[in-house]
Structure 1
Amino acid sequence: MQLRRHSRKPLLFLLSSLCLLVGGFSLSDFPPLGMGTESVLISAVSDGDTLRAADGRRIRLYGVDCPEKRQARGADATAITKRLTLGRTVKLEKVDQDKYGRVVGIVSLDDGSVLQEELLKAGAAWLYDQYCRRPVCIGWQTLENTARKRKVGLWSDPVPVPPWVWRKNRSH
């Protein structure tokens, strides 16, 4: 008996149609699926969204932007990331590489939780919707909205300044 291989075209058509129906997206709006997942030992944390692997690679968290170290709430974001990752082995799903040579990825912790989600729930990060284009980002937006409503972390500040605005103001 010979098994028939199913074509992926109907599945891609279905996904493409669903994206268009739900939000006017097409599959081309999303980056290609991950470049692979690997276990990585975290040896340093630069700030809330930037880590260093024991092999020297720098890792930038995909889809979120934490306050900078010298920015209000930056120390909080850094402390959360250190507490959850420093000296631990995490799963890194590589999504891209940025212009600074950092691996951009999604970091899963040893308990199965996702670092980006933990930061959003704690009010320690913004969803970086300019770059967050994967379907998971929809759920991440919900986590940020919930933290905002509950006034958790940076959302307890009267006027929290997004890091991209803070960086732009500092460069002038």
Structure 2
Amino acid sequence: MKRAPLLLVLALVGCGGQASALPSVTISSCYDGDTCRTTEGEKVRLACIDTPELRGRNADPLPAKAARDYLRSRVVGKTVLIRRVDTDRYGRTVGDLYLKPFESVGLDLVRSGHAAVLQRYAKQCPWAD
């Protein structure tokens, strides 16, 4: 995973843009470990990762709350860069958030042990190889 920042740089340069060209949003809340809401009301599902579920058939509340609380501590009340990837079946933006130009929130969650890379979507994130 040491190559992630370089891959991100190459991906951004390859798209003709720079990290500073990404739009920014301010995060107002996080529902769980991989879903946040911006101050503008946009729901953002973090791309390329999965965290334990809070509710439902596959719920695992203790690690789910830990992932949610960790994500909240990292992004709530902060302005972050966003790379919008897609829209999911629930109408949420699927996106990669960055605290700094090369600090992916999704990668941080994976490295901290709160999330796993979703292999079927890994190609959407330069850091997820």
Say yes or no: TM over 0.5.
Answer: yes
Equivalent residue, structure 2, for 1:61: 46
TM, length-normalised to structure 2: 0.74
Cα-Cα RMSD: 1.7
Structure 2 CA distance, aligned partners of 1:66 and 1:37? 25
Residue aligned with 1:131, SS: helix
Residue 95 (structure 1) aligned to one of 68, 85, 88: 85
Which amino acid counterpart does residue 52 of structure 1 have in structure 2?
R
CA distance in 2, matches of 1:92, 1:112: 11
1:50-90 deviation per Cα after TM superposition (whole angstroms, max 9, x unaligned): 00010001000000001112414001100110000001100
Q: Do the aligned partners of residues 111 and 129 (structure 1) sit closer, same or farther apart at CA in structure 2, a change above 3 Å counting?
A: same
The CA distance in 2 between the partners of 1:112 and 1:99, in whole Å, is 28
Q: Which amino acid aligns with 1:65?
A: D
The answer to whether structure 1 residue 85 and structure 2 residue 75 are counterparts is yes
Q: Which residues in structure 2 correspond to 1:58-137 (within 5 Å)?
A: 58-70=43-55, 71=60, 72-110=62-100, 112-134=102-124, 135-137=126-128
**Equivalents in 2 of 1:126, 1:48: separation in Å?**
11
TM alignment of 1:21-60, pairs within 5 A = 37-60=22-45
Q: Which has the higher contact order (CA 8 A, sep 6+)?
A: 2
Question: By percentage of residues, which structure has more helix?
Answer: 1
Compare the two structures and name the one with the higher strand fraction. Answer: 2
Query: How many residue pairs were aligned?
Result: 104
Question: Distance in 2 between the 1:132 and 1:86 partners?
Answer: 25
Q: Distance in 2 between matches of 1:136 and 1:112?
A: 10
Unaligned 5+ segments in structure 2 are 1-14, 16-20
Residue pair 2:122, 2:128 contacting (<8 A) in 1 also? yes
Provide the identity percentage: 33
TM normalised by structure 1 equals: 0.56
Cα distance change on mapping 1:105 and 1:120 into 2, 3 Å: same
- Tell me how far 1:111 sits from its aligned partner: 7.3
Structure 1: tracts of 5 or more residues without a match: 1-32, 139-172
Q: Is the 8 A contact 1:89 1:110 kept in 2?
A: no
Rg (Cα) greater in structure: 1
Equivalent residues of 1:37, 1:94 under 8 A apart: no
Runs of 4+ aligned residues of structure 1 deviating over 4 Å after TM superposition are none
